[in-house]
Amino acid sequence: MAERSEDSEEVKLLGMWASPFSRRIEIALTLKGVPYEFSEQDITNKSDLLLRLNPVYKMIPVLVHNGKPISESLVILEYIDDTWRNNPILPQDPSERAMARFWAKLIDQQICVAAMKVAGTIGEERDAAVEETRNLLMFLEKELVGKDFFGGQSLGLVDIVATLVAFWLIRTEDLLGVKVVPVEKFPEIHRWVKNLSGNDVIKKCIPPEDEHLEYIRARMDKLNIKSA
């Protein structure tokens, strides 16, 4: 069974253009100069391919490399760093690696959840969700003091994961009608967002702003969430 050498290196990403979890994989692959085929998925009508490649969660993103599928964005990011060793996403030092993994987990399991509560609730419940999000973000604020990026002078795992905060939470504040991350309270985070926005890889890999906001507005209408 002769395989073309190009096939054995084939990288395919099943993703969705507006998903922060899908975009972070694109950032990592682009950072490392890994060519990949992107397969846009309709998550409202999941393809047989997606269901076959991610039977456990049935979600994007799924990375397929050498014919083998890998799901869960944090697992995929570590796989990418393990496989393509140039431009490392994780630091060398074990305690710094542990901290990076710690912050990545905090962002996905708590900050993301709290931010979604802000979008999905009103009144007192929303106020509580805003406060919870801000309390969690304060830890990230302190982490950024004296650094251009969470990864130091260049993008690292936490920067890639935290694009969720920069381009999905902060970007949609006007639509949500609440400044969850005001610049007076979070000057470091805002400085970091400026640094991110000037980075070529980030610029290339995040959803275009107008289309993104339009998409979110439409979704909010569909879910009967009042948009500002």
Question: Interface with other proteins by CB under 8 A: which residues?
Answer: 56, 65-66, 68, 70-72, 74-76, 78-79, 82-83, 93-95, 97-98, 101-102, 105-106, 139
Nearer to other proteins, 65 or 207 (CB): 65
For residue 201, give both structure tokens: 């890889």
Closest CB to other proteins among residues 17, 139: 139
Looking at the Cβ atoms of 75 and 228, the one nearer to other proteins is 75
Which runs of consecutive H residues, i.e. helices, occur in the chain? 5-8, 20-31, 48-53, 73-83, 94-106, 112-120, 123-143, 157-164, 173-176, 187-197, 200-205, 209-222
Least separation in angstroms between CB 12 and other proteins: 15
Q: Cβ of residue 209: shortest distance to other proteins, in angstroms?
A: 32
Cα gap 176→173, rounded to integer Å: 5
Smaller CB distance to other proteins: residue 99 or 178?
A: 99
**How far is CA 212 from each of CA 62, 139, 152, 215, rounded to the nearest angstrom?**
21, 28, 29, 5
DSSP 208: P
Q: Indicate the length of the chain as a whole number.
A: 228
CB of 138 to other proteins, least distance (A): 10
Give min distance, CB of 65 to other proteins, in A. 8
